[in-house]
Amino acid sequence: MSFYHGVEVVEIDGGARPIQTVKSSVIGLIGTAPDADSTAFPLNVPVLIAGNRTEAAKLGSNGTLPDAIDGIFDQIGAMVIVVRVEHSDDNAQMLTNVQGGIDATTGARTGVQAFLDAGSKLGLTPRILIAPQFSNEVGIVQELMGIAERLKAVIIAEAPSTTDTAAIAYQKNFGSARVYVIDPRVMVLANGVEVAKPASPRVAGLMARIDKTYGWHYSPSNHEIYGVTGTERPIDFELNGECRANYLNENKISTIINQSGFRLWGNLTCSNDPKWQFLSVRRTADMLNESLLYAHNWAVDRGISKTFVDDIVMSVNGFLRSLVAQGRILGGKCWADPELNSENEIANGHITFSFDFTPVYPSQHITFNSHLVNDYISEIF
């Protein structure tokens, strides 16, 4: 170095970086509210309601959105990204409005496509997608599946709420781990009268509540849904026998049972791959993958060196250890595999890190082996 007489401090921009988990429980809600304040809730624009009923009151009282917000907020004051679409009495036009697309004149996204604008407009990404009163249409769920894949979200889809046969036929249209089917609708008290309402807002709110109380690794199944007085058709339930609830669950349909309160009952997604059969496993993987993705924006375009590699491996392993300590995963580790990082790859500016993890699986099936023995007769005397 050049001659210097004195003391200096050189700041070294190295070392491991802390990794924060992305928000897991932001709900994406699409629907109608014809009486809404059009300034607060313009059509086809994602708007954030941050758990505040006063903000939600600007939606008015008609359409699907006000009821849905009420159902969510019955569970918890969740963060909800609302996309309001134009109401139509024509069913085909109404579904077209929800399905949305790209406006040919303005190039703006409409309908469910508007969820993709949430990140840039609001700085938040919806991770739980619902379309109450519309997701019983297979086409709407199919459209949402592409959105969910891009956002790393899950969809709470509503079966027709008529018969078990209809619910199973509906479920068979999907094979994605991002689709979680619920059936039937729930009964709620409205102006002193019990009415049937879509279950998806209350299930979404429950998921947000469980995320906050226990964490995103926790299954929402077997937790009470607030504000529910019944189900549109009876769902019988027995812990140790054949019942309608078990039949629906067996066919990848979650339901609501009356067992010390009305509870969500079911863990399974629509995935055809057993690896992703549990909703909590899909969401755990999403939270890890997205957290690591967003946490390493700082690393893009940095020079690839041994220190650089060590810093990233150290950061990720520290993050995984913290998740183990919190009980959110059972274990995991990160490494840079030399076989995946050839001289040619490094020379092209491409470096690969690998990590593994084991999720916390839900105890869906518990068995007690009962043994009748005479071994303890001697305890009489």
pLDDT per position as a tens digit, 19-55:
666 678 999 999 999 999 999 999 999 999 998 899 9
DSSP 8-state symbol, 377:
G
Q: For the chain, give the percent of residues with pLDDT over 70.
A: 94
DSSP 8-state symbol, 90:
S
Kindly state whether residue 10 falls inside one of the protein's structural domains. Answer: no
Q: Do 304 and 166 have their domain in common?
A: no
The pTM (predicted TM-score) of the whole model is 0.93
Q: Do 312 and 375 have their domain in common?
A: yes
What is the Cα 127 distance to its own chain's centre?
Answer: 4
Each residue's pLDDT tens digit, 130-189: 999 999 999 999 999 999 999 999 999 999 999 999 999 999 999 999 999 999 999 999
Q: Provide the domain limits for residue 257.
A: 27-280
Q: Do 273 and 306 have their domain in common?
A: no
Kindly state whether residue 274 falls inside one of the protein's structural domains. Answer: yes
Q: Tell me how many domains the chain contains.
A: 2
Please give the Cα distance from 336 to 293 (Å, whole number).
16
Show Cβ contacts of residue 76 under 8 Å, excluding neighbours closer than 6 positions: 51, 205, 208, 209, 212
Kindly state whether residue 20 falls inside one of the protein's structural domains. Answer: no
Kindly state whether residue 34 falls inside one of the protein's structural domains. Answer: yes
